[in-house]
Structure formats: C-alpha cells, structure tokens
Chain A
Amino acid sequence: MSPIIKLLAQRIALSLLLLLLISVVIFAGTIVLPGDVAQSILGQSATPEALANLRAELGVNDPPVGRYFAWLFGAMQGDLGTALTSGQDITSALAGRFWNTMFLAFWAAVVAVPLAIFLGLLAVRFKDRWPDKLISAVTLASISIPEFLIGYVLMYVVAVKLRWFPSVAMINDGMTLFEKLNAIALPITVLTLVVLAHMMRMTRAAILNVMQSAYIETAELKGLNAFQVIYRHAFPNAIAPIVNVVMLNLAYLVVGVVVIEVVFVYPGMGQYLVDHVSKRDVPVVQACGLIFAAVYIGLNMIADIVAILSNPRLRHPK
C-alpha cells in the first residue's frame, strides 16, 4: 500500500474510533443529568398521576448499558430514536433543521472564508502599516464582543433603525433563495464577525512564517512584486495551516451557532437542542450531540487530509 493511502486510512480509522468514544461520553453524560424528564415536560402543572403515566410511557427506568447499545445500533442505521416530549421521530425532525443549520453555516462560510483570507493577504502585504493594524484591530474587537451582543446591536441598527434586513431570521420552504438570503443576512453577518479574526490572523501568521523562507527571498530577488510573491509562492505553502483553521471555524459555524439561532429565531439545530435540553429530552440531546461531534470530527479529518495531500513530501513518496 502506498504510504499516502495508509496515512489516510489511519486518519479515517482514528476519526471513527474517536466518534465511538464520544458516543459513549455523550450517552453517559446525558444519563447523569439532574432532574426528571416527566417532571420537566409537565412543568408546574404536573400531577402525581400524570407524572407516573408519563414515566411509564417513556420507559426511563430501563438499565443504561442495554439502552446504549440499542441506541448506537439504531444511530448507525440512521435511526436516532423518538423524542420523549413530542413522540416525533428524531431523524426526520432533525433532517430539516440540520439542513437549515448547514444552509446558514454554508453562506456564512461563503462570506467569511474568502474575506478572511483576502484580509490576511492584505495584512501581510501591508505588514505593520496602517491597513494591517486596522484589520487586526477591527477583527480582534469583533471577536472579543460576545456574539449575542453583536447580534442585538446589529438588530437594533440594521433591522429596527435602518430596516434593511429583518430581525427575525425565519425561513421556510416556500421562500426563494433570495428571500432566504435576505432573511439570514443578520445572522450571517454576526457569524462572519465572530469567525473572521481567527481565520484572518492564522492566514497572516502562516504566510508570514513562509515569508521567512529562502525561496521567498529568491522570488523577491527575481524582481516579482509583493503581491505575486505572496500569492504565487507564499500562499500555496501556507495552505495546510490555513485549511486547518478554516475547517476549525467551519465546525464552529455548524456547532457553535446555538446562541445565534436562538437570538435570531432561526429554525436550526441549535434552537431545537436548547428546547430539548431544558425539557430533559435525552434522546434528542444525544442525537444532536452525536451529529455535532460527527461534523466536528469530520471537518478536522478533512483538514488533516488536505494537509497530508498538500505536502509534497507525502504526495511524492520516495
């Protein structure tokens, strides 16, 4: 087997093992949550009869190990069980929301990734001069403010005062792509501001690192202008670390949007998860946890694979 295929196979196997371990952690973690699902569903209006009826129906008293394997086996076949609170099939209930979250993450990435890389390149080109400092200052400021606050401020200025975009990011199937994009303009902006700084600074650092190399000096001595040096010689060699940080931020766009989805009333997985956590709906929390973990591990795996493939020493084994 060629070493590169072996490396890739190893990396994929490791990811799967990690996912399995995480499934154990998720399952165990949700079992030890305090409180009682039946009481939480019925809230203050619970009577002892209603509680007993609901508990029996939910089957929350069975032994946990058996439940874990039944759950894992089901999840591997795409069956995530039924929600305790509503009796809905979780897989079908989550499908729409998963795609909504991916839709939001996708468009946030479409805006944020090119912007971050462009700003990173710009910062390198004007290193230590005012554009570099301005970019750094703005992006660092935006990452330092809690995202819900950015959300509220944008909501007030852009939606309430200027009325450019709606404050509630409600999307549904009947809308055209343009209407959907208009609806999610504000959450996309917030997400972009949140992930921009990290990606931008890593791009800047990675390229600056490469710029120390001898071949960059050669390129400069060849008489290439600064942009060409950065774009043709430095950037390709900085791809691995850049992809790494991009993937990490993409993962954040999917799994870290909980607050944004709640603030902008976006019907994605985050809102679904929050509602079910407060009701102790364990199967839904487990399902969301598993999906989030899979996305996170998957994107990291892709980052590693890209890093492996972009490394000529691995691409052309001796």
Chain B
Amino acid sequence: MNKHMQYLASQAVAGKLTRRDFLGKAAALGFTAVSANLLLSGAAKAAGPQKGGTLRLGLQGGSTTDSLDPALVTNTVGLMVTRLWGETLVELTEDGGIEGKLAESYEASADARTWTFKLRSGVTYSNGQNVTTEDVVKTMERHSGEDTKSGALGIMRGIKDVRADGDTVVFELDSPNADLPYLLADYHLIVQPGGGNDDPAAAIGTGPYIMKSADMGVRFVAEKNPNYWGDLGNAETVEIIVINDDTARVAALQSGQVDVIDRVPPRTAKLVERAPNITVHSTSAAGHYVFIMHTNTAPFDNYDLRMALKYGINREEMVDKILNGYGTVGNDSPINASYPMYTELEQRQFDPDKAMFHMKKSGHDGSVLLRTSDNSFPGAPDASALFQQSCQSAGIKLDVKREPNDGYWSEVWNNQPFCTSYWGGRPTQDQMFTTAYLSTADWNDTRFNNEQFDQMLVAARGELDVAKRTQMYADMSTILRDQGGLICPMFNDFVEATTDKVDGFVEGVPGQVLMNGYAASKLWVKA
C-alpha cells in the first residue's frame, strides 16, 4: 500500500497527477491529509529542485521611496531583492548555525578579540570583476563610518579595525565578541566592488541573480547569474511584485498571478489554507508584539505597578485572538526558542489576584494611559482593548489612546512612556540585548538601566564556553522578565503561502521572513 502511495506521490510530483487527485486518492486509501501532504513533499524533495521557469513573488513592505543601496534596506522587499544580487561574508544556516558565503572559512583568536575570515577564491561580481579582500574592507568601512546612514551601523560599533591580509580579512574588536559571525551575516553588509562607495545602488554583486529591472515599490526582475559560484538559484527568472494591500496580495496568489506571498494576515490564514492549490507556511520567529513602559518615568518607574500590568495581561488570549494562533506566548523577555542559547523560564500567567496585590502595593491610584496604533503591529488597537479588559478584571483601570498611524515611530514610540510596539528580533541574544536593553543602547525603548545586566552582557559576549554563556543569558532574561519595562505577550510567526506551482519551501528557517530571505533563490518552479 505504502509503495503504491509513494508511486502516486512521485506521479504527482512529476505533474502526471494533480495535487487534488493525489489527495483524493490518498483519502480513498485511508491516508489523512497531513500524512499525504508529507508524502508529497518528501517525494518532491527526493525528485530534487528543478531548474528554469519564472518564480513570481508578491510581497508586502516595499515603497517607491526605497533604494537598491544595501545600507538603506529597511523592509522585506529590500531584503529579498538584495539577497538576489548580493552576498554577505557569512550566512545563517537553516538550523540556525553559521556557514561561509563569500568567506570560505573563519576563525577567532582565543580571546575572541581578533577574527580572521578567509575569502573564497575566484568569485566574480556580475560585472566580471574579481572579489578582493580590499572590497570587503571598504564595504565594512562604508557601513561603519561616522557619517553613514547604514542600518548596520549599530552592530558595527564594536569593530575597531578591519584590514586585508593576503587572502584573509582581519577584524579587530574593542572587546571580545564570540558572536561576530552572526553580526556579519546582517543583510546590510553585502560585499560590493570598491565597498559600494562609487555607486551603492548599482546592484553589482556576487549573488545568484543579476537585476534586470528595478522599479522601486513596484516591480523587480532578475535573471540567473550564469557565473554564480554556488548552487543557489533554481528559477531562471525571478519577478518580485510589491503588493502592500493584504487583500490584493492574497487575491494575487489565489488567482495565480504570483506563486509566493509573505504576510498572510493571521485573521484570514485559515481561509486561505482551505483553497485547494495553496499551502500556508508558518515559521515561529523572533519577532514580538509588545507593550513597552519607560522604567524611568512615573508611574512606570514603580516596580509593583509594572508587575501589576504584567500579571494583568492574558497572553494566551492575545495569541488566540490577535494572532489567530499563528504565534507563541511570550514571557516578558525578548528571547524565545528561536535563539541559539535559549533556556526556558517559568511561564508568567495571567493572575488577577497578583495583579491587584501589586497594584495596591504600588500606591498608584487612577488610570494608566496606553498609546497605540495599527502601525505599531497589526491588530495593536484590538490587543490594547483586550489588555484593557483583562486589567479590568484585576481592578486596574487602563485608558487606551489611539494615535495616528503616520508619525507613530517618531512621535509616540521611544517618546511616550507606555505604548504598543514591535521588535523584529535579532539572530543572537547578545544582539537583541545590546540593541534594546543595554543602558546605553540607542534603541533602549524601555529605558532599562540595570548595572548588573550591563556587566553580564559584556561578560557573556566574550565567553567562549557555551554552557556558561547559556546560563548567563538565562539569568539576563530573568532579570529583564522581572525588572524590565517590557510586557511581551506574544511572538508572531511568519505566515507565508505558496501555490502548487512551486516547491522547496522549508518552514522554520531562523532569521528573516521567507526562509531568511532566500525563498526566491531556493524555491523551484514545477514543470
């Protein structure tokens, strides 16, 4: 029986049997839809990627104001386009490790202060030029210079010096950092000829594709780079269409105008999943929807008031109603299981009695004002209303003020003491903590100032013993969870969808959206 099913699956993969017919036959033979689908994807993987064809992606998060300059990439479309034509020194693997891209190998000195990256030889840019160590050095300098506008500036700060040495590039750091390769996998740090100083938006790189046309915020077309050194890139042509409207994006997938979309709205994901030729993929990720309190501003400088609010939120309800189940419960720390050195802490539960107790103890009476807008995360006003209700059952009066969408990031976030916000997460604990919870961090949006935490962060960064480091990060998460100004009820999954026409989607890849931005070069179009 199983042999017969496998035969049918291979027929379906080869296109001799439609997916629908296959599922019908499988059901008739007593297979559940889940196991039939598993068979199908197994057979597809066994058949291997197919080359050629056109892969079309409809993506949210692109704007006519974008630029092809990797330093200025801020959104999904920018990430996906950059990944087509350019490459970084190293990259995250599908299981969260690090692998060499333009760097063939790398090693750290014993004190984790000096890192040496050996450049892969014989790699050329799409204009035929050879990649040199000098280009790498200039690229790093362009992103770390004081007058740069690069989104990678924050992570480049700890680097004291970058120099070329034969076929290697040497990084000297201010202080030990065991995570440097994770930082250098940042998607802004695309190696460009001459560091991209001459024409940063020329899209000349070493990637699997060559850009043919780029209409910002509208449409991008790329063709396979015949001289690409690696094995990425299955489709002959990749077309990216920017579709910011949720309904239009889903309709484009359903009508077969595109084969892949990102950000399926959780509200309708279950409905989309029911369409016969569409598969919805969910990847748990480091991004989290949060409520942030300034721990240095009254009344949020009061430990008990913060605890009252933390006990007054119903996290399960948020995941159910705001994410429609496409996410996981948060624990008031920005770290979840998607991080490499994660330790599970005791889950904080909704507890009206404890909330009431802490509220009384805080001595605060009257209401607490929460500001929100849909711009901070999708459904934020609804989440705020849920928070308001759960607080009510604990006797806490929460006022919700809805702010305009535009200007939210400049007027409300990081300005007002209590508001809704969103964090995309970072590849390592060190980076997440350094970005937002170190007392001197630029984006310390909870105004968290804890000496012990700061010291542990610096110590953990230089610690090469993984077990010790893991313990340190667990301790730091505990401090944040109990002392911090972060209320983190939920981590949102990346919800994405593909049609029958394409295969090769891998769920659960850590990092960014759509298989860490590699969906366009790893998926294949079925003949």
Contact = CB atoms under 8 A, between A and B. Distances in A.
Contacts of A267: 215, 218-219
B411 interface: yes
B409 interface: yes
Nearest to B275: A160
B74 A50 contact: no
Interface string B316-359: 00000000000000000000000000000000000000000000
Interface string A25-43: 0000000001110011111
A168 interface: yes
A97 to B, nearest CB: 9
A270 B15 CA distance: 42
B127 interface: no
Nearest to A164: B255
A272 interface: yes
Contact of A271 (B64, B148, B257, B442): B64
Contacts of B257: 159, 166-168
Given A43-B74, A262-B245, A53 B149 contact: yes
B2 interface: no
Contact of B63 (A54, A155, A279): A279
Contact of A86 (B146, B215, B216): B216
B406 interface: yes
Interface string A231-260: 000000000000000000000000000000
A197 interface: no
Interface string A261-279: 0111101000110011111
B217 A275 contact: yes
B109 interface: no
Interface stretch (B118-126, B162-170, B246-254, B507-515): B246-254
A66 interface: no
Interface in B400-447: 405-407, 409-411, 413, 422, 442-443
Q: Classify chain B's interface size.
A: 35 or more
User: Which residue of A34, A42, A43, A265 has the most chain B CB atoms within 10 A of its CB atom?
Assistant: A265
Contacts of A160: 251, 254-255
B409 A43 contact: yes
Contacts of B150: 50
Contact of B147 (A53, A156, A163, A281): A53
A167 B248 contact: yes
A166 B148 CA distance: 42
A192 B32 CA distance: 48
A117 to B, nearest CB: 32
B63 A35 contact: no
Given A45-B151, A155-B247, A275 B410 contact: no
A47 interface: yes
Contacts of A265: 218, 241-245, 248, 252
B154 to A, nearest CB: 6
Contacts of B67: 86
A172 interface: yes
B172 interface: no
A27 to B, nearest CB: 20
B256 interface: yes
B464 interface: no
B5 interface: no
A36 B215 CA distance: 26
Nearest to A97: B64
A155 B409 contact: no
Contacts of B410: 35-36, 39-40
Contact of A34 (B218, B244, B407): B407
Given A267-B215, A276-B65, A168 B252 contact: yes
A163 to B, nearest CB: 6
A40 B74 CA distance: 12
Interface in A168-195: 168, 170, 172
Interface in B50-88: 58, 63-67, 74
Contact of B251 (A156, A170, A279): A156
A160 B256 CA distance: 8
Given A40-B407, A44-B409, A167-B255, A50 B245 contact: no
Contacts of B409: 39-40, 43-44, 46
B232 interface: no
Interface residues of A, number: 45
A155 to B, nearest CB: 5
B108 interface: no
Contacts of B153: 47, 49-50
A35 B411 contact: yes
Nearest to B217: A275
A278 B406 contact: yes
A36 B217 CA distance: 22
Given A34-B411, A267-B218, A168 B58 contact: yes
A83 interface: yes
Contacts of B406: 35, 40, 277-278, 280
A47 B443 CA distance: 7
A83 B252 CA distance: 30
A50 B150 CA distance: 8
Contacts of A281: 65
Interface string A84-114: 0110000000000000000000000000000
Nearest to B157: A47
Contact of A83 (B65, B146, B151): B65
A312 interface: no
Interface string B193-235: 0000000000000000000010111110000000000000000
Contacts of A271: 64, 217-218
A86 to B, nearest CB: 5
A265 B77 CA distance: 15
A167 B252 contact: yes
Given A86-B67, A167-B257, A271-B64, A172 B219 contact: yes
A317 interface: no
Contacts of A59: none
A41 to B, nearest CB: 7
A54 B216 contact: no
Given A86-B216, A155-B251, A265-B241, 6 more contacts: A39-B410, A46-B409, A49-B153, A167-B255, A272-B217, A275-B217
Interface of A: 34-36, 39-50, 53-54, 83, 85-86, 152, 155-156, 159-160, 163, 166-168, 170, 172, 262-265, 267, 271-272, 275-281
A-B CB proximity, top 9 nearest: A85-B65, A39-B410, A35-B407, A159-B255, A167-B251, A275-B64, A160-B254, A275-B63, A267-B218
23 contacts: A35-B406, A36-B410, A39-B410, A40-B407, A41-B65, A44-B413, A45-B74, A49-B146, A49-B153, A50-B148, A50-B153, A53-B148, A54-B149, A86-B216, A166-B257, A167-B248, A167-B251, A168-B248, A170-B241, A264-B248, A265-B241, A271-B217, A276-B64
